[in-house]
Each structure stands twice: as structure tokens, then as C-alpha cells.
Amino acid sequence: MIETKHVYLRNFRESDLNDLYEYAHQEKVGPMAGWRPHANIEVSREYLKSILDKPLCFAIVDKADGKVIGSMEIMNVSKEFEAYNPEENSVEIGAVLNENYWSKGYMTELIDETLNYCFTELKAPEVYAANYSKNIGSTRIQEKNGFKMLGSIPDSYTWLDGSVCDTLLRKITKDEYFERKAKLFLEKPTLERKEEAIDYINEHVKYNSKINGTGGLNHYVLDDDKTYEDWLDKINKEWDMEPTEIL
């Protein structure tokens, strides 16, 4: 299960209808993702029926009260990315969130865990994401999670008010994701993140072993002069941990 400090993902249920309608009819939510706000609960009911059997279309559930506050979908890479030659088994992600939960960090942390799931469980080599240029919040969240710009499709989306904007195309690779996580821990080696750091070190070593067949620690170059082994040594010194505790 994909889970963060504040939310977790599960498949949708028929009982989610009212929660889904609450965010799906909000004026700012649907247009940001490319669809019109749901005019009534019957529109939401039909939509819910269409996604109940999708194994990788998830409800975002608030841990505090069990309320469904949005959706996260992992899907095949869309045709907009064909020019960038996606690798086999790559995926695309897309999400929406009840506007009452915006600017709380929920989506940023959820995308991070979803990426981890895509790379470790689904074995995707790349993850793609698209958003409209007017959706500044989505741009910031993708950038915070390490997505890199590929390009854009000019004047490709028309808003409800008749204005047009570009579609922005980004991706992140498996290597980029884990190297970014390593760098973040190097920059913020706080005791509060110790357990999380150890989890990512262990994942990094297993992934490395699959890549070069030896498990050698120097496969990842985290900086110009810092190897993966340097990173382990740094954590050992700053947290007074033995390398064997980590590996």
C-alpha cells in the first residue's frame, strides 16, 4: 500500500460517491486536470462506475478521518510523450486533490511515495507527468519531486473561460529518483530522518545490485566527487552508525 504521513491510497469503492462528488464538482479541481467540474452527483456516479475496476486508479484517503480527498492514477504513457521515446514499461501518473487540502504538502509527499512504488514495485524505468502551464501548483509539485522538463505543446488546452495555455511535459528516471533522494539526505542528515534514510540506502543497494550484478557501491555518483560509498560513510560519521547497521 502506498502511504504517507497524512494519506494512503486504496482502490475506489461505491461508498466513495459523496466524497468524490465533493471534489469533482469544485470549480478549480477538474479544469486543472483537463475535465469539466461535475454538474451533479449523477455525473460522479457514472465516473465512479468507470474506475471501480481499474487496479491502478486509487482513492486518496485522509488518515485523520477516512475521507476520500482525491485520486491518483498510474497509467500507460500517453501519446503526447511519443516523441520522447519512452522506455518499455514506463508509466505516467496523474492526480487531483480536493481544493480544501491544497497547500498542505499532501500531494508532494504522496507523489514521492508513488514514484517509489512505480520504480520498486512496478519496475518502471521512467515515470512521466503532464500539466497545463496555468496550473502553477502542479508545476511546483513536480519540480519538488525531481521531474525534469522535456518540452511543451503550445496552445493545446482551452480553459472554461476560453483562454488557452500550453501542456508541459516532464519525466523522472529511476536513477534520477534515487540519486535525488540520496542528495536530499546528504543535505539534511537529521536524526528525525534516520529511519527513512536507512530505508533508501537499503533500496539503493538492492537496485544497484540488479544493475551491475555485483552490488558494488560506486555505481551511483551522487556528486562530482562523492560516490555512494562516500554517502554511507558520511551518515556513519554524522549519526554514529556502523555501515553494517545500514547494509
DSSP 8-state symbol, 61: E
**Residues forming beta bridges with residue 74, ordered by sequence position:** 93
- Residues 151 and 215: their CA atoms lie apart, in Å, by 35
- Residues 218 and 227: their CA atoms lie apart, in Å, by 6
pTM confidence score: 0.78
pLDDT digits over 196-205, tens only? Answer: 665 665 555 4
Q: Containing H/E element for 76?
A: strand 68-76
208 has pLDDT over 50: no
- Residues 75 and 12: their CA atoms lie apart, in Å, by 16
What pLDDT score does 183 carry?
Answer: 73
pLDDT digits over 131-145, tens only? Answer: 999 999 999 999 999
Cell of 199: 530505508
pLDDT digits over 50-88, tens only? Answer: 999 999 999 999 999 999 999 999 999 999 999 999 999
- Residues 1 and 110: their CA atoms lie apart, in Å, by 12
What pLDDT score does 160 carry?
Answer: 78
* Mean pLDDT to the nearest integer, 230-236: 62
DSSP 8-state symbol, 205: H
Give the DSSP per-residue string, 117-154: HHHHTS--SEEEEEEETT-HHHHHHHHHTT-EEEEEEE
| Residues contacting residue 45 through CB under 8 Å, at least 6 positions apart | 17
Residue in the structure block whose three cell numbers are 519531486: 145
